[in-house]
Amino acid sequence: MEIIKSLTVPNDRKILLIVLDGLGGLPKDGKTELETARTPNLDNLTKRSTLGLTIPVSYGITPGSVPGHLALFGYDPIKYPVGRGVIEALGVGLSIHPEDLCIRGNFATIKNGIIIDRRAGRIPTEENRRLCELLQSNIRRISNTKIIIHPSEGHRFAIVMRGQGLSPEISESDPLRNGEAPREIKPLKDQAKRTAEIVRELEERALELLRTEKRANYILLRGYSKFPSLEPMSTRYRIDPACIAIYPCYRGIGKLVGMEILQANTWEEEIEALKSSFNDFDFFYLHFKETDTKGEDGDFEGKVELIEKFDRLLEEILKIKFNVIAIGSDHSTPALLKSHSWHPSPFLLYSEYVRSDGIEKFGERSCRKGGLGVFPAIQVMPLLLAHSLKLKKFGA
């Protein structure tokens, strides 16, 4: 990637990277979700494109959304692991600064010093909100460190600590099973002493506030992490990148690689945002989440329908004159598995400078026959830059 950086030359050409989350699938009655969907606009683009299959992280590895996206943006997901606390904070829509320490919290039930329910009876999200408000309104700052507490789903919440010199090298209080005492939070390295003190004070004050609660009378903390310091895409690739995504996690990832975040709440609004900001950026990451959700639900037909819905919207997208269009995914989410999977993701690349494969239909098996072959997702960015003539010659 250092070589890619040394070759970048900015120009006015516009790149669109469309991520259909969890697009790749597995066959049911011989065809995958994508192969089953009727996609005339996609097929039309396919004929003029070159295809391939992207391996998100490595052979056999099922990636989470964050590593899957980091790879697509050209950042090695193994070199930049992202901790649980960061994921939780991104997921609830908190913005994270490079120095922030992120923590994943659980409400729990304690009795006579023993954790009897690590999930506090899976309290409803409503109760979670009330409790987080109680904590946040009473705990705003500890020893020059700003404390941000935000509810997540069920019994889970996120904490972002904003201050100087915070370290993730402290031990977790969560014993990870019921019937045990919570663990003492201790520094694992000398430079984490002050952080451990702050987190212990946070814990004490929270427990005092929760003392009279029936179920959620304890908090368990784990997943201490900072977001890996990533060179922004603007300096790395000399592009102006924009992120169009509805879900907080994806907006968070976009922010952390230096994208400008555009507002949208529906797929249609995402396309409006793309149109209206076309002149302001030269790289657009356009994220559609629900293909993944349907896969996670095991809803084969639902995923097919969403792919078909995307196909109708694609007609609108193609009216905007991008020089380079890529359609791919952060990982596969086959309805058959009801989860993310390790299978390579179908990938399409259109530009006036591709050797089009002449393939008639966009699908997992047809992508296998494409000119890009089976290749690592981390090579997507170099390909997009090259096809928009943003990379000069290497060597003489």
List residues binding a second copy (CB under 8 A).
3-4, 7, 26-27, 32, 53, 57-67, 77-78, 81-82, 84, 87, 334, 336-337, 339-344, 353-358, 364-365, 368-375, 379, 381-387, 391-396
Residue (241 or 344) nearer to a second copy, CB: 344
Q: What's the min distance (Å) between Cβ of 59 and a second copy?
A: 4
Q: What's the min distance (Å) between Cβ of 229 and a second copy?
A: 17
Q: What's the min distance (Å) between Cβ of 93 and a second copy?
A: 15
Residue (109 or 345) nearer to a second copy, CB: 345
Q: What's the min distance (Å) between Cβ of 83 and a second copy?
A: 9
Interatomic CA distance for residues 280 and 242, integer angstroms: 9
Do residues 164 and 99 lie in contact, with contact meaning Cβ atoms separated by under 8 Å? yes
DSSP 3-state assignment of 284?
strand
Interatomic CA distance for residues 196 and 26, integer angstroms: 46
Q: What's the min distance (Å) between Cβ of 114 and a second copy?
A: 28
Residue (232 or 371) nearer to a second copy, CB: 371
Interatomic CA distance for residues 69 and 63, integer angstroms: 9
Residue (142 or 337) nearer to a second copy, CB: 337
Residue (261 or 337) nearer to a second copy, CB: 337
DSSP 3-state assignment of 171?
coil
Q: What's the min distance (Å) between Cβ of 225 and a second copy?
A: 11
Residue (134 or 374) nearer to a second copy, CB: 374
Residue (93 or 165) nearer to a second copy, CB: 93
CB contact burial 85-106 (16+ within 10 A = b; e otherwise) = bbbbbbbbebebeeebbbbbbb
Residue length of the chain: 396
Instruction: Find residue 106's DSSP bridge partners.
Output: 156, 220
CA distances from 313 to 266, 318, 324 (A): 12, 9, 18
Interatomic CA distance for residues 146 and 357, integer angstroms: 55
DSSP assigned state of 190: G
DSSP 3-state assignment of 225?
strand
Longest dimension (CA), the chain: 74
Q: What's the min distance (Å) between Cβ of 63 and a second copy?
A: 5
Name residue, tokens 């995914």.
Answer: 329
Residue (226 or 387) nearer to a second copy, CB: 387
Handedness of CA 353, 355, 357, 360 (dihedral sign): positive
Q: At what angle do helices 65-72 and 380-387 cross, to 10 degrees?
A: 30
Name residue, tokens 């990637």.
Answer: 1
Do residues 195 and 170 lie in contact, with contact meaning Cβ atoms separated by under 8 Å? yes
Q: What's the min distance (Å) between Cβ of 57 and a second copy?
A: 6
Task: Give Rg (Cα) of the chain.
Answer: 23
Q: What's the min distance (Å) between Cβ of 366 and a second copy?
A: 11
* Strand order across the 50-55 sheet: 260-262, 241-244, 283-288, 15-20, 324-328, 345-351, 50-55, 373-376
Do residues 31 and 303 lie in contact, with contact meaning Cβ atoms separated by under 8 Å? no
Residue (3 or 229) nearer to a second copy, CB: 3
